[in-house]
A and B are shown apart, each in its own frame.
Chain A
Amino acid sequence: MNALTGFVLRRVIGAVVTLFALSVIIYVVFYVTPGNVAQITCGPRCSPVQVHQVAQQLHLDDPLYVRYWHFLQGLFVGQDFSTGTSVEHCSAPCLGQSYQTDQQVTGIILTRLPVSFSLVLGAMVIWLLLGVGTGVLSAWRRGRFSERALTALTLAGVATPVFVIGLVLMIVVCGELQLLPFPEYVNFTDDPEQWAWNLLLPWLSLALIESANFARLTRASMLETLADDHIRTFRAYGVGERAIIARHALRGATASVIALNAVTFGSAVGGAVLTETLFGLPGVGQELVHAVKVVDLPVVVGMVLVVGFFVVLANAVADVLYAVADRRVVLA
């Protein structure tokens, strides 16, 4: 328990430092990026006077450290924003306000995050089942025809872009067979059944791609374990091949599957842009790409911090699971 407390504490400190570093980097990158932010924000038809007004309103002419200071202020004590006609208060933790829509970034994140989560969590269940299942199967049937076929299939999976699989799925399932309506996001809280039906295709397309990696990893680490001495021990004691695969070889693969899952999960929360765009899911990735395009700095920073937070969290959870799975690992 003591080790766990220390571990959590170190991880929290590490996460805070990482996230701050992330925010500084984004501010600097956006500061040095060429282009007139005020002009972009205001629109192509704005007059120089209007552009100047926008720049003042958004503090775009302030030096970098002042702008970053404002950001920190918002984060810890809250901030007031003028929208030109009225003043809005944004209470701490305030990530700022979108240059484009005047919406508060926290609000945007809160509407986008459940969508991304719905997508990634569901897909995760499928990619784990499918990926690990395929991996186990091909480790068991190693050297035989069925294993080669599976290997070829997973290789094809790794190589296929998500929009190809997604498009094909949509055309076949929704268009030709008309088994499902074309996906449209429904909130889980509004109608769980519709939520699931509508997400089924996005889940499948994201998971099919990712599961290929899991299959390859599972197969590889199971084969590695199967070559270990302790497998020979159990064979020499008459333990059957099935039990050896299911109990001993698979167990050897858990640690690496957990690690890969953490990375995949963390990066998919903010990085499943293609899937989100293809299926019209208003998720984090889509919003992030849009915000970068229009140089909407507060939205970008907010989104990146949230995504970064999940990457850090996923890795910490993976480390704990790792230590649970393998008692030799000491949390440090």
Chain B
Amino acid sequence: MSLVEVTGLTVEFGSLRAVDGLSFSLAEGAALALVGESGSGKSTVAGALLGLHRGTGARVSGSVRVAGTDVQAAPDEELRRLRGAKAAMVFQDPLSSLDPYYAIGDQIAEVHRVHTRVSRRTARARAVEVLERVGIPDAVRRSRSRPHEFSGGMRQRALIAMALACEPDLLIADEPTTALDVTVQAQILDLLHTLREETGMGLLLVTHDVGVAAESVDDILVMRHGTAVEHGPVGRVLAAPAQPYTRELLDAVPRVDARRTGSRATDEAVLEATGLRREFGRGSRTFAAVDDVSVTVRRGETLGVVGESGSGKTTLGRMLVGLLEPTAGAIRYEGRPHTGVNPAVQMVFQDPVSSLNPRRSVGESIADPLRARGTERDEQRIRGRVTELLERVGLEGAHYDRYPHEFSGGQRQRIGIARALAAEPRVIVCDEPVSALDVTTQAQVVELLGELQRELGLALVFIAHDLAVVRQVSDRVAVMRRGRIVEYGPADEVYDSPREPYTRQLLAAVPALDPELAARRRAARREPAVA
């Protein structure tokens, strides 16, 4: 009997059909990835496996059997016994998925006691045991920590520990590594792999990242609009996709070995930063987010800045734009020292939702920089210019009077780009411009930026944590770690023959699209740990 048996599953939220007649099964101990872009219904399926849509007003039809329980028909009590004990779920955001007020060990113990008739003390001991199992050092002491005292990777380990507490037959992981840095992601994926080898539990992995799936599962199911597009062994689907959509999806995935093409980089420096340092906090709590960083941005080129969270990328970007005052160091624009905000250096922000004012029409938002400059006062001409900009970034002039919520994520990011262009900048600093977007949308936005760069001779600073995206767009790359630049040079050199061990470590952690390569890399990652 298979562990999971889903037949004709349909989930509707009001008039929206999130999942539409999906069927699949998972054998005991097997691993399946549900892959798709946002809105494809993959997380809804994961929730349906545990009956999490019950009582939310969603209409669920079809049949779902998990570890012998008919999830649709089971009474609440039986469903509670399934949840956590037979099938446990690991969520995407490890910070918000744990109760901030209780010690991590207590939360794991609470879950354990729901399913077993053991004493508080035994449950607590079990919590320490599973925390140790997922590689939390000094687990006895750390089990008394609250979630905020853990790093992102440790929190995700703690959530996995919670899932292990009752030795489930099935682990459902919903985007378990999306919020994590690439090296931490590799560790978590390795951990999941090892746990599966040892416990023989089944894995249902929900992810938007084909690379993550390639690393972790046997079978892959590509979803789109709530239906299955393609389903098969991961090696076959990734190497020889049968469906056009799968191919499209795979083509959009940035490859870490793909060079930049069509660059018109010059040697003419536009923006130079020397010895930049920025401190935060006061007194003994002072720390330098950016420390002694010098970079040059040349006309027509893209300077990629990669690094993990907390490496100081964003702080550097904000200093380049003039949104943050450097504690030390200087910025020169076209050879002259410059302090404060410079209209010729604009910024595109990561989150296209929160970086647009929800109460103003997008046209007004784009018109802001025009009005701020004060050179143009004629409303008719401002409107004309905004219409032009909207069209330039691939939207319609008629969108002027619409509000941000009427647009998709990719469209909002286009609006953000139009706003940056309004000031006619020479340099645009893009801070994680595509990390909130699906891969196909990501590819379109990256392409738009490249077009604008060639057309307008713009210099771009492209800040991102995704090494593959950075490679694809950059002429030169700066690798940041703990506020400093550890490696800085032409993109091809940095990626193909990295000098620094840290750069090598980063590159080795990037998920490979080829399952065999992924397995070799995993083996390679294990070795130094033994040594």
Known: A238-B80, A327-B146. A233 touches B101 (CB 8 A): no
**With A and B bound together, what is the CA distance between A251 and B99 in angstroms?**
9
Q: Does chain B have a CB within 8 A of A148?
A: no
Which of the segments B13-21, B29-37, B108-116, B509-517 contacts the partner chain? B108-116
Closest to B103 in A: A327
Cβ of B94 to closest chain A Cβ, rounded Å: 10
**With A and B bound together, what is the CA distance between A168 and B77 in angstroms?**
47
A229's partner among B88, B96, B148 (CB-CB below 8 A) is B96
A-B contact count (CB 8 A): 76
The digit string for A215-257, where 1 denotes a CB below 8 A from any CB of B, is: 0000000000000111011111111100100011001101000
Known: A237-B88, A238-B81, A239-B111. A326 touches B101 (CB 8 A): yes
Q: Does chain A have a CB within 8 A of B98?
A: yes
Closest to A229 in B: B96
List, in ascending order, chain B residues with CB within 8 A of A240's CB. 80, 114
Q: Does chain B have a CB within 8 A of A9?
A: no
List, in ascending order, chain B residues with CB within 8 A of A237's CB. 83-84, 88-89, 111, 114, 162
Cβ of A329 to closest chain B Cβ, rounded Å: 10
Find out whether the CB atom of B148 lies under 8 angstroms from the CB atom of A328: yes
Cβ of B470 to closest chain A Cβ, rounded Å: 30
Scan residues 103-145 of chain B and give those whose CB is less than 8 A from a CB of chain A.
110-111, 114-115
Find out whether the CB atom of B52 lies under 8 angstroms from the CB atom of A233: no
Cβ of A283 to closest chain B Cβ, rounded Å: 37
Q: Does chain A have a CB within 8 A of B331?
A: no
Find out whether the CB atom of B52 lies under 8 angstroms from the CB atom of A230: no
List, in ascending order, chain A residues with CB within 8 A of B88's CB. 236-237
Closest to A250 in B: B101
Cβ of A136 to closest chain B Cβ, rounded Å: 16
Find out whether the CB atom of B84 lies under 8 angstroms from the CB atom of A230: no
Q: Does chain A have a CB within 8 A of B488?
A: no
Q: Does chain A have a CB within 8 A of B100?
A: yes
Cβ of B294 to closest chain A Cβ, rounded Å: 35
Interface residues on chain B, size class:
20 to 34
Q: Does chain B have a CB within 8 A of A16?
A: no
A228's partner among B52, B85, B96, B111 (CB-CB below 8 A) is B96
Find out whether the CB atom of B93 lies under 8 angstroms from the CB atom of A229: yes
Q: Taking each of B81, B89, B101, which has the highest tally of chain A beta carbons within 10 Å of its own beta carbon? A: B101
Find out whether the CB atom of A230 lies under 8 angstroms from the CB atom of B99: yes
A236's partner among B84, B93, B98, B146 (CB-CB below 8 A) is B84
Q: Does chain A have a CB within 8 A of B97?
A: yes
**With A and B bound together, what is the CA distance between A240 and B76 in angstroms?**
10
List, in ascending order, chain B residues with CB within 8 A of A233's CB. 89, 91, 97-99, 159, 162
- Tally of A interface residues using CB under 8 Å: 22
Find out whether the CB atom of B91 lies under 8 angstroms from the CB atom of A229: yes
Main SS of the interface on chain A?
helix
List, in ascending order, chain A residues with CB within 8 A of B159's CB. 233
Find out whether the CB atom of A238 lies under 8 angstroms from the CB atom of B97: no
Closest to A230 in B: B99
List, in ascending order, chain B residues with CB within 8 A of A229's CB. 91, 93, 96-97
Q: Taking each of B83, B85, B93, which has the highest tally of chain A beta carbons within 10 Å of its own beta carbon? A: B83
Q: Does chain A have a CB within 8 A of B102?
A: yes
**With A and B bound together, what is the CA distance between A232 and B53 in angstroms?**
11
**With A and B bound together, what is the CA distance between A240 and B114 in angstroms?**
8
Q: Does chain B have a CB within 8 A of A25?
A: no
Find out whether the CB atom of A238 lies under 8 angstroms from the CB atom of B101: no
B52's partner among A235, A251, A254, A327 (CB-CB below 8 A) is A235
Find out whether the CB atom of A230 lies under 8 angstroms from the CB atom of B81: no
Known: A230-B96, A236-B89. A325 touches B52 (CB 8 A): no
Cβ of B47 to closest chain A Cβ, rounded Å: 8
Find out whether the CB atom of B82 lies under 8 angstroms from the CB atom of A325: no
- Enumerate 23 A-B pairs (CB-CB under 8 Å) in ascending A order: A229-B97, A230-B96, A230-B98, A230-B99, A232-B52, A233-B91, A233-B99, A233-B159, A234-B110, A234-B111, A235-B52, A236-B50, A236-B89, A236-B91, A238-B81, A238-B84, A239-B84, A239-B111, A243-B110, A251-B99, A251-B102, A327-B146, A327-B148
Cβ of B14 to closest chain A Cβ, rounded Å: 17
List, in ascending order, chain A residues with CB within 8 A of B80's CB. 238, 240
Closest to B166 in A: A237
Find out whether the CB atom of B98 lies under 8 angstroms from the CB atom of A328: no
List, in ascending order, chain A residues with CB within 8 A of B100's CB. 230, 326, 328
Find out whether the CB atom of A234 lies under 8 angstroms from the CB atom of B99: yes
Q: Taking each of A239, A243, A248, which has the highest tally of chain B beta carbons within 10 Å of its own beta carbon? A: A239
**With A and B bound together, what is the CA distance between A326 and B89 in angstroms?**
26
**With A and B bound together, what is the CA distance between A235 and B110 in angstroms?**
12
List, in ascending order, chain B residues with CB within 8 A of A236's CB. 50, 52, 83-84, 88-89, 91
**With A and B bound together, what is the CA distance between A228 and B99 in angstroms?**
9
| Extra pairs beyond A237-B83, A238-B79 (18, CB < 8 Å) | A229-B93, A229-B97, A230-B99, A233-B91, A233-B97, A234-B99, A235-B83, A236-B50, A236-B83, A236-B91, A238-B81, A238-B111, A248-B101, A326-B100, A326-B101, A327-B146, A327-B148, A327-B149
List, in ascending order, chain A residues with CB within 8 A of B162's CB. 233, 237
Find out whether the CB atom of B84 lies under 8 angstroms from the CB atom of A248: no
**With A and B bound together, what is the CA distance between A219 and B89 in angstroms?**
29
**With A and B bound together, what is the CA distance between A236 and B85 in angstroms?**
10
**With A and B bound together, what is the CA distance between A229 and B47 in angstroms?**
13
